[in-house]
Amino acid sequence: MTLPLPRYSRITGTGSFLPSRRVTNAQLAEELAQRGVETSDEWIVARTGIHARHFAAPEVTASDLGFEAAKHALEAAGRSAADIDLIIVATSTPDMIFPSSACLIQQKLGVHGCPAFDLQAVCSGFVYALTVADSMIRTGAASKALVIGAEVFSRILDFNDRTTCVLFGDGAGAVVLEASDQPGLLASELHADGRHVGILCTPGTVAGGKVLGDPLLKMDGQAVFKLAVGVLEDVARSVLAKAGRQDADIDWLIPHQANIRIMQGTAKKLKLPLEKLIVTVDEHGNTSAASIPLALDHAVRTGRIKQGDTVMLEGVGGGFTWGAVLLDF
Ligand code: ACO
């Protein structure tokens, strides 16, 4: 009897898309001042490393951004939409309650029949989605997946709350993940701790035709900061151990792009020189589930991440959720 060959998954193409309206800290500070909300470029840069973010026009949705990112990823992989047999979209800002943004993107791509669903794990969403797609490919349930992170966080920001509205932006990133006899994804791990639901949430909902509760983002920044620093180190070490690799084997670290201080702290704990840290938070702000695939695509297209490089992706966010994926690109 011949045993089936081991089946792995590998990223074969990346893509991303940003809305055209780029808003610098100075521009945002000026807009907020008109509401009586005081902030400054100096404060935002010093506390977060953010210089600018992109905001989508009112009529542009997460599925519009995700669709554009998906097209770029398909082109990079040399695939057409018809080749895809699974679509997963990580988002916390879907176009509508249902159908899912994944079904809307499938329709925009002009293909039909393959499974398509949204996955909601806030800023850990892309790492969650990649892990689910990898599992489905390994079991033979799919062969060529589109994994997308797409967000319009500007829709859920309270522009009267300076502690949160300066942090986030809109955008999308995508990868094509394909079955392979050589490992691409080496190991991954996901976690959640619902005891911390209150430190980062958008608690409103819709019922009886009305919005019930507050539909705008709330965050206890310091509580999130403290939790994030600890879990990002622990999960990276655990995933390295699972893959039989060491800190020094990491060529590139792509943590969730929320705050440069958390990202640099994580690199330091993993004893990685800062040159190995991919940073896009300066130009994108925190784009939640889109931040990791946006940063990955940026690093690939600027020639830093090359085929064969070992990359650690790390997500952390509302839920509280966190996770990591180690891969050979
Ligand atoms: N402009 C000017 N001043 C401000 C602003 C602002 N935009 N925001 C807050 N301040 C003031 C505060 O009022 C406070 O003033 P006070 O000392 O007079 O009271 C002072 O600045 C310091 O505020 P802190 O909250 O202590 O600032 P901190 O250094 O903690 O930075 C920040 C805040 C940037 C939010 C930080 O805590 C952080 O990055 N936390 C983690 C966020 C994160 O990682 N999120 C990831 C997940 S996101 C997701 O899942 C959706």
Whether residues 103 and 191 share a domain: the answer is: no
- Asked if the structure places residue 225 within a domain, the reply is yes
Whether residues 22 and 169 share a domain: the answer is: yes
State which of 136, 156, 180 marks the end of a domain: 180
State which of 150, 180, 210 marks the end of a domain: 180
Whether residues 190 and 176 share a domain: the answer is: no
Active site residues: 123, 256, 286
Whether residues 121 and 267 share a domain: the answer is: no
Whether residues 107 and 146 share a domain: the answer is: yes
Q: What is the pLDDT of residues 98-141, one digit of tens each?
A: 999 999 999 999 999 999 999 999 999 999 999 999 999 999 99
Whether residues 108 and 213 share a domain: the answer is: no
Number of domains in the chain: 2
Ligand 1 in reach of 224 Cβ (< 6 A): yes
User: Among 37, 163, 191, which residue has the most ligand 1 atoms within 8 Å of its CB, making it the best to mutate?
Assistant: 163
State which of 145, 180, 215 marks the end of a domain: 180
User: By the 8 A CB rule, do 184 and 33 touch?
Assistant: no
Distance (Å) from CA 158 to ligand 1 centroid: 14
Ligand 1 in reach of 317 Cβ (< 6 A): yes
Expressed as residue numbers, the domain containing 261 is 185-328
Whether residues 166 and 210 share a domain: the answer is: no
User: By the 8 A CB rule, do 109 and 67 touch?
Assistant: yes
Whether residues 209 and 253 share a domain: the answer is: yes
pTM: 0.96
Ligand 1 in reach of 43 Cβ (< 6 A): yes
Q: What is the pLDDT of residues 241-293, one digit of tens each?
A: 999 999 999 999 999 999 999 999 999 999 999 999 999 999 999 999 999 99
Whether residues 190 and 175 share a domain: the answer is: no
**Is the pLDDT reported for residue 3 higher than 60?**
no
For 299, list phi and psi in degrees, rounded to 5.
-70, -35
pLDDT for position 6: 72
Ligand 1: which residue has its CA nearest to atom 1?
39
Whether residues 245 and 151 share a domain: the answer is: no
pLDDT for position 5: 66
Q: What is the pLDDT of residues 18-37, one digit of tens each?
A: 999 999 999 999 999 999 99
Whether residues 204 and 101 share a domain: the answer is: no
